[in-house]
Amino acid sequence: MANIAPAPAILRKPQRNPQLNAHGELIHLLSTEGLPKANLLQILDTAEQFLSVNDREVKKVPLLRGKSVFNLFFENSTRTRTTFEIAAKRLSADVINLDIARSSASKGESLLDTIANLSAMQADMFIVRHSESGAPYLIAQHVAPHVHVVNAGDGRHAHPTQALLDMYTIRHYKKDFTNLTVAIVGDIVHSRVARSNIHALTTLGVPEVRVVGPRTLVPGDLRHLGVRVCHSMEEGIKDADVVIMLRLQNERMNGGMLPSAGEFFKEFGLTEAKLALAKPDAIVMHPGPINRGVEIDSAVADGKQSVILPQVTFGIAVRMAVMGIIAGNEA
């Protein structure tokens, strides 16, 4: 009689969204992909409360008092790390910023050993940016039940807090998601921001999401994400309510995907003339840092339709909401 080996544990266990506990509550924020609409809206609604904390005499609330938040950035970032730090401090957490370049990781320590050591220092939350897609998932699988993980950008995979602050910004100016046309312009295929935004926008019921750029950066098979693929600005921007410009990373030019920055600007750079194709009340967004004259013209970046700086302010409230929500939920 053939001896049938039992299925591996991973196949026997019902697969649950690793971001949610058994009650469907958010315990980590790893991706907007597969995140239910109710959880997305909870974050946006909670962020609204936190935005008003900026107007107070005391710009601090005690929700994370006595908790330690470790900013673990294996990849460079100024804006994201700083806004996470401000957000954690406004929630009264103790914030520890790790200088990874000088840390044990550069001496050969594995990621999980680094996490185990930091956990032994009573970390309650890890904010992780890593060049490897999936690194925050790996960490979330190995931390103790009371420890929470926020993905602050992993490889080409996801940047959920950027997507959430973009959703907050869109809702702030446009009120309703269900009648919008949103165009995301630039290097879609390498962009974790684009990916996270597409998942959030479709979950929130945006009927038309367009991805716009040259064929090398916007391949046709992106259609399976539920978006319309456009290879010209005329088609991509026409009658859009929201235009999200992405930063063009210099390394793409070296890889032969683009002839030159000047060429890209001519075709896909957002100028006032191109923006005139969108709806008159369209808003212009950008995750930053912007490259003036590469993907966006200064006249647009500083123009009255630009909401690039409000995005940064909303980003603090959204990150407070994410940390406040996950810290209050148990695995």
Partner 1 sequence: MSDTSSTLRLDAEALYADLCKGVQRLLRPETVLVGVWSGGAWLAERLNADLGLSTPHGVISSALHRDDFGQRGLSATKDATHLPFEVEGRHILLVDDVLYTGRTTRAVLNELWDFGRPASVTLVVLVDRGGRELPIEPAYSAARIALPAEARVSLDRNAEGRFQFQFEKA
The site that binds partner 1 (CB under 8 A) totals a number of residues, namely 22
- Residue 234 or residue 330: which is nearer to partner 1 going by CB? 330
Interacting residue with partner 1 among 24, 37, 45, 141 (CB under 8 A):
45
- Which residues, 61 to 90, sit near partner 1 by CB under 8 A? 61-63
- Residue 124 or residue 166: which is nearer to partner 1 going by CB? 124
Interacting residue with partner 1 among 56, 215, 223, 266 (CB under 8 A):
56
Q: List the beta bridge partners of residue 175.
A: none
The answer to whether residue 325 forms part of the interface with partner 1 (CB under 8 A) is yes
Question: Which DSSP letter does residue 88 get?
Answer: H
Q: Which x/- pattern over 269-308 shows residues binding partner 1 (rule: CB under 8 A)?
A: ----------------------------------------
Half-sphere exposure for 188 (CA within 13 Å, toward CB): 29
Report d(CA 122, CA 319) in Å as an integer: 21
Nearest to 308 by CA among 79, 55, 151, 81: 79
Count the neighbouring beta carbons within 10 Å of the beta carbon of residue 331: 15
Contact residues for 275 (Cβ-Cβ < 8 A; gap 6+): 237, 243, 282, 284, 300, 303, 305
Half-sphere exposure for 247 (CA within 13 Å, toward CB): 11
Report d(CA 245, CA 186) in Å as an integer: 6
- Which residues, 4 to 33, sit near partner 1 by CB under 8 A? 25
Q: How far is the CB of 242 from partner 1 (least distance, A)?
A: 24
- Residue 285 or residue 325: which is nearer to partner 1 going by CB? 325
- Residue 98 or residue 331: which is nearer to partner 1 going by CB? 331
Indicate the SS3 state at residue 288. Answer: coil
The structure tokens listed for 195 are 């990916």
Q: How far is the CB of 40 from partner 1 (least distance, A)?
A: 10
Interacting residue ranges for partner 1, rule: CB under 8 A: 25, 41-43, 45-46, 48-49, 52-53, 56-58, 60-63, 324-325, 327-329
